[in-house]
Amino acid sequence: MLVMTFFVVFLGETAWAQTPTPTPITSLSSVSDPNGSYIITQDISGGTAGVSTFSGTLTAQADENGIFPVISGLTQPLFITVTGAKISNIMLKEV
């Protein structure tokens, strides 16, 4: 007799969730949802994020020459608390 055993592995909710389309932003105050997904599309000078705790996605989009936007002139941390966030391609200057 042939016995087949199947195992079901639970990978958790995040393994199956689709990545949301990032919201393009041109200022830090546009980051208003701590779980949101954002993409920086141009240089940002100064300002503060609209949230102090962040668990979402923040990235930057390179221009046609492959140059990423820069965040400059920050006088305080971008976020106070970052938990489980995905932050990539962020260029900082004069912070």
> Over the stretch 16-53, which tens digit does the pLDDT of each residue have?
556 679 999 999 999 999 999 999 999 999 888 889 99
Q: Is 2 or 78 the better-scoring residue by pLDDT?
A: 78
- pTM for the full predicted model: 0.77
Helix (H, G, I), strand (E, B) or coil at 87: strand
Per the domain annotation, does 3 fall within a domain? no
Residue 9 lies in a domain: no
Asked if the structure places residue 48 within a domain, the reply is yes
Q: Whole domain around residue 89: which residue ranges?
A: 20-93
In this structure, is residue 81 part of a structural domain?
A: yes
pLDDT (0 to 100) of residue 35? 96
Is residue 2 one of the residues assigned to a domain?
A: no
- 50-85 residue pLDDT tens: 899 999 999 999 999 999 999 999 888 999 999 999
Residue 49 covered by a domain: yes
Residue 14 lies in a domain: no
Domain count within the chain: 1
Is residue 52 in a domain? yes
DSSP letters, 14-64, are: HHHPPPPPPEEESSGGG---TT-EEEE-S-EES---S-SEE-SEEEE---T
